[in-house]
Amino acid sequence: MPWLVLVFTMAHLTISHVIRTFAGGDYETIEISGPQMVLTMKLTTFAWNVWDGRRPSEDLDKWQTEQRVVEFPSLIEFLGYAFYFPGFLVGPYLTYNEYQALVTGSLYKAAEQREESAINETNHLSQRLVPHGRKRVAYRKMFKGLVFLVLFILFYPEYNFTITVEDEFESRRLFSRIVLLQFCGFFERCKYYAIWTLTEGASIQTGLGFTGYTEGGRTKWEGAANVDAWNIEFAENTKVLLDSWNMKTNIWLRECVYKRVTPKGKKPGFRSSLATFMTSAFWHGIAPGYYLSFFFFAFVQTTGRLARSYLRPLLLPANYVSKRGAAPPPQTRKKQLYDVLGVLATVMLTNYGTLPFMLLTIDDSFVAWNSVVWYGHFLVAGALAFFYLGGNVLLTQVQAVRVKQAGYQMERDEINRNVRSLPGTPVKTTTLPPLDEAARTLEKRVAGKRGNGFAQ
């Protein structure tokens, strides 16, 4: 059933994309495909949540257990969820249980317990207690969104991806073209930073996004975030970038596509990543540029996963175990250099890979890629060739030697600690007598022997 809902909603959305494309409408024209994209996420997620509500609990993971829908909502409740107004146009998308927690006030259970004494004193019980501080955060988000909007208005007309297909851009030196591409990529993203930050502030204003309290006692409102500009512009790897960009859509793709196409008991691999990226491209529209971008990023993500699995451990202490909840690795010079190179590679591949996403057509995409000598394809293809032609085996062997040597060193250190911890054995220290006293004693013994000899 969830797959049928996904197919139907995606097909209906595709019809809107086709009408918009062939009707000659541009992206400045207000039409329904934008809100319909958000609604598609909500409906398909709701279908999977209902499906999970009828599965055994032991077959569900944490997210599926938390979001499962056991009882059907009423029509008015369902429509309220589907048309939640702060996120209706461009998101953020939310699950039905998150919407229900917002409406009923169960989202603020911790806040209710914290402020229960104050309520009892005034004897004024509110049906839905919203913690203090949301207006402060909402206005800050509004200001931040307006800053990005101003940057977009001021610089986007001169610095955008369309200049990469112009003759003037081609006449520049290669280094200048590559650097200019990075600036264009930032100003292209500013419009997304602006709209998603503004809608996040609007959602927080309604009470959505409460995530608890800081150590200082101030409320946190991080649950409605859809983008993290800092982590995108300075992402150390593609995983950090993808986790920080269009966060709610990433959750939808992960929970409704990525995990669902992966066979039970197996880890997601390249096929799962490719299916997820293709679904995302199909969700965005029918323009060929979407598919070029997402197909490229499927390989980028695979490259990043291989680098993290085989290369990154060589830059960390041999006995460091990377797992959830573990302390961050020590920042050695090699690790810091790796992070800096990771930031440069990630932002350059991001700006390169999103060229078709914004240019839309195959011809313009190839012209733009050719103007920067296809550097993204060479980087990714070279990395994949290295890993799949024996590089992963070589790096694994090197890491195994490091771990073995570290194990020997740990054993030696442990033996030394054990020896030092043993109780000391008392040793009688021989003190040499003064030399003159020893000489006199020796002379007396020699003289005595001589006397005895003469007497005989």
Report d(CA 266, CA 63) in Å as an integer.
18
Does the annotation mark 12 as catalytic? no
Q: Check if the beta carbon of residue 237 is closer than 8 Å to that of residue 301.
A: no
By residue count, the chain amounts to 456
Q: Check if the beta carbon of residue 197 is closer than 8 Å to that of residue 148.
A: yes
Amino acid making up residue 266: K
Containing H/E element for 219?
A: strand 219-221
Token code pair at residue 394: 């070589």
Q: Residue 349 class from Cβ within 10 Å (0-12 exposed, 13-18 middle, 19+ buried)?
A: buried
Token code pair at residue 441: 């004693």
Strand partners, 212: 220
Say which of 12, 17, 132, 284 is annotated catalytic: 284
Report d(CA 95, CA 68) in Å as an integer.
10
Nearest by Cα to 311 from 284, 291, 338, 330: 338
**Sequence-separated (6 or more) residues with CB below 8 Å from residue 324:** none
Q: What is the maximal distance between C-alpha atoms in the chain? A: 142
Query: 214 by DSSP, 3-state: which?
Result: coil
Active-site residue set: 284
